[in-house]
Amino acid sequence: MPDAQSDTDKNFNYYPSMTEDDAGALWMACGSDGVLKYDGKNVTRYPVGDGAYVLSIYCDHEGKLWIGTVEHGVYAFEGGRFEPFKPHEPSN
């Protein structure tokens, strides 16, 4: 990745989880730094609200991105950002 730091640098990022989307971009869970996307040229940071610590990231069989946090539950990538997942209420 461009401008990657070594593990001896003070602000070294650790990625506990990584996935690849349908376009071949890499998405990395970055703890309190949210999520990073690397498309082969550019790195984009996606912060996750409420100071959530992002521990895992997953791309499902439909291409949707999901993240798991330590204290704020599950988020889904919607409209260009990660939103808290809210399951649909069952119909009666």
User: How many domains does the chain contain in total?
Assistant: 1
| Structural domain contains residue 73 | yes
Find the mean pLDDT for residues 22-38: 94
Q: Give domain status of residue 86, yes or no.
A: no
Q: Could you tell me if residue 10 is inside a domain?
A: no
Note the pLDDT tens digit of each residue in 44-73.
Answer: 999 998 788 999 999 999 999 999 999 999
Determine the Cα–Cα distance for residues 2 and 51; give it in Å rounded to an integer.
26
Say if 90 falls within a structural domain.
Answer: no
Q: Which of 73, 22, 75 is nearest to 46 (CA)?
A: 75
pLDDT computed for residue 88 by the predictor: 78
> Residue 59's pLDDT is what?
97
Q: Which domain holds residue 63?
A: 17-77
Averaged over 35-41, what is the pLDDT? 94
Q: How far apart are CA 53 and CA 67, in angstroms?
A: 10
Q: What is the CA radius of gyration of the chain?
A: 14
Asked whether residue 44 is domain-assigned, the answer is yes
In a domain, 55, yes or no: yes
- Residue 22 clears pLDDT 90, i.e. is over it: yes
pLDDT, tens digit (0-9, with 9 covering 90-100), for 74-83:
999 999 999 9
